Amino acid sequence: MKTMRCIAVVLAFTCLSLTAAEPVTGLQGIQSDWARINYADTDSNKKADDFKALIEQAQALVTAQPESAELLIWLGIIQSSTAGAEGGLGALAYAKAAKKNFETALNINENALHGSALASLGVLYHKVPGWPIGFGSDKKAEKLLKRALEVNPDGIDSNYFYAEYLFDEGEYRQALVFLDKATHAAPRADRPLADEGRRNDIAVLKAKLDKKLN
């Protein structure tokens, strides 16, 4: 059964690089702070508190730059991460807030940060419980994750998340194809900690796939 704690994957998920044509004020800072909290905080309560403080910083940046799809995406990522750290039904409010920000970012520019809003929203739809508890929908998740792959066919995150979706759906051999693409994705020079974390996620999923296929 899906639980709100599953949302944590979203944000061990979305460590995408800044690729906007113009620099976005404050974005690199919240990206770095997110990575530090996500990978260095081992206590779930401390992690949740640190993410909540980071939400306030990200929200202030969005207020100052409301048309920045990149900042909206990262606000959503931090909110999703908070939901994962918080766990339980209390996390649903953070998931809903993240969903709203991802949707707003998509309306501005769905290609921002290599289609990160598409992938992030797809993971939310896949991990959040469905009606009557939450808004989860595997049908919507699949559509968004496939679209994210169209935008970023060789990305480490877009391929990893679709592989994870396929694994959860029991499509193990197909999952292995996309996981292999994620494994061979080019490193991101500006996000070494994010890449390290994602490659650890890939290794964990690969081990699960090996057990299913062998």
Look at residue 9 and tell me whether its pLDDT is greater than 70. no
pLDDT, tens only, 113-128? 999 999 999 999 999 9
pLDDT, tens only, 37-49? 987 778 878 999 9
Instruction: Report the amino acid identity of residue 46.
Output: K
pLDDT, tens only, 59-105? 999 999 999 999 999 999 999 999 999 888 789 999 999 999 999 99
Rounded CA separation 106/103 (Å):
5
Question: According to the model, what pLDDT value does residue 53 have?
Answer: 97
User: Which long-range contacts link 99-102 to residues 24+ away (Cβ below 8 Å)?
Assistant: 99/124, 99/135, 100/76, 101/62, 101/72, 101/73, 101/75, 101/76, 102/72, 102/73, 102/76
Residue 136 structural domain: 4-213
Number of domains in the chain: 1
Model-wide pTM > 0.85: yes
* Banded model confidence at residue 190, pLDDT cuts 50, 70, 90: confident
> What CATH number has the domain bearing residue 38?
1.25.40.10
Look at residue 2 and tell me whether its pLDDT is greater than 60. no
The 10 Å CB-count burial string (b at 16+, else e) for 74-97 is bbbbbbbbbbbbbbeeebbebbbb
Question: According to the model, what pLDDT value does residue 22 have?
Answer: 53
Taking a C-beta distance cutoff of 8 angstroms, is the pair 26, 185 a contact? no
